[in-house]
Amino acid sequence: MSDCRSKLARLARPLLGGLAGGWLAIASAQATVPAAQSDPELRSVVQQAIAQAQCFADKYDSAVWYTLMEPRMRRFVADHDERIAILRTVYCETHRTNASALPPGLVLAILEVESRFDRWAVSSAGAVGLMQVMPFWPERLGMRRSELVTVDANVRMGCAILRFYLDRERRDVRRALEYYNGSVGRRDYPDRVIVRWTNYWNGADDLGRTALKPS
């Protein structure tokens, strides 16, 4: 009976305790799920992305892009300022100078599938925020865990991780998505992301100029 109570208490913490309680459940979950986003080489990649926290967007192209994408975001994010913050960060992080191509539409599809654009989302595996970044990242980077639920930090880390896997997997989108999600060898997650990328966010990719396409 005591074992049952203990298990129920652990499951109830994220619901009853809000985000603070959620962190307690995350700690125990990490020990039982396959490690995602944990490649040793990733630390320097994400650290560099955080250090270069600035926007590289072309003003004209970004203005056109916002005009096209903002109406599509309204079904997911009610608050205007938050919609713009998400779009701005996605555009900037996918247009980093001297970095490999990262399609904005792919990132928006990941945001939808991972969290439905909810920056407070916490998964059963312990991933947090818009792009469902694993909670060990703030500790590795000298950041606060609370930064995982901010738009800028979460999207910046998520894009750095995604770009790393795309580069390592030689631009194989499906393989990169499997590693990002921690579901290597399973098609469900990459299929869902690619369907949303091609069917809903297909107009997001640099007005048709991004070279990387779904495989």
Q: Where residue 6 falls among pLDDT bands split at 50, 70, 90? A: very low
Domain formed by 33-208, architecture: Orthogonal Bundle (1.10)
Q: Which residue has the higher pLDDT, 36 or 164?
A: 164
At 18, which amino acid appears?
G
Cα separation, 187 vs 198, whole angstroms: 16
Range ranked top by mean pLDDT from 29-38, 63-72, 191-200 = 191-200
| 89 close to 102: Cβ distance less than 8 angstroms | no
Q: Average pLDDT in the 10-16 region?
A: 37
- What pLDDT does 205 receive? 84
pLDDT (0 to 100) of residue 22: 41
Q: What residue segments make up the domains of the chain, in order of their start? A: 33-208
pTM (2 d.p.):
0.74
pLDDT of 170 over the 90 cut: yes
The confidence band for 15, taking pLDDT boundaries of 50, 70 and 90, is very low
**155 Cβ contact partners less than 8 Å away, ≥ 6 residues apart:** 86, 89, 90, 93, 107, 111, 130, 131
CA distance linking residue 67 with residue 70, whole number of Å = 6
pLDDT tens per residue across span 103-154: 999 999 999 999 999 999 999 889 999 999 988 887 887 778 888 999 999 9
Residue 133 phi/psi, 5-degree rounding, is -85, 140
At 214, the pLDDT band (50, 70, 90 cuts) reads low
Per-residue confidence (pLDDT) for residue 132, from 0 to 100 = 95
pLDDT digits (tens, 9 = 90+) for 181-194: 999 999 999 999 99
Residues in the chain: 215
Q: How many CB atoms lie within 10 A of CB 54?
A: 8
